[in-house]
Amino acid sequence: MPSKATTTVAMDFGRLTLGEDLILYLFGTPGQRRFWFMWDDLCLGAIGAIVIVDTARLDESFSPLDYFEAKGLPFIVAVNEFNGVNQYTLDRVKAALALPPEVPIISIDARDRESAKAALIRVTEYAPEHLTRTPAGAS
**DSSP of 12-26:** EEEEEEEETTEEEEE
- The pTM is what? 0.82
Domain ranges of the chain: 32-130
20: left (phi over 0), alpha (psi -120 to 50) or beta: alpha
What is the average per-residue pLDDT within 106-112? 91
pLDDT value for 9: 66
Report the chain's mean pLDDT, rounded to a whole number.
83
32-130 has CATH 1.10.238 classification: no
Task: Provide CB contacts within 8 A for 115, sequence distance 6+.
Answer: 108, 109
pLDDT top residue among 11 and 115: 115
The one-character DSSP state at 57 is: G
Q: What is the pLDDT of residues 29-76, one digit of tens each?
A: 777 777 778 888 888 888 899 999 988 888 989 988 998 999 899 999
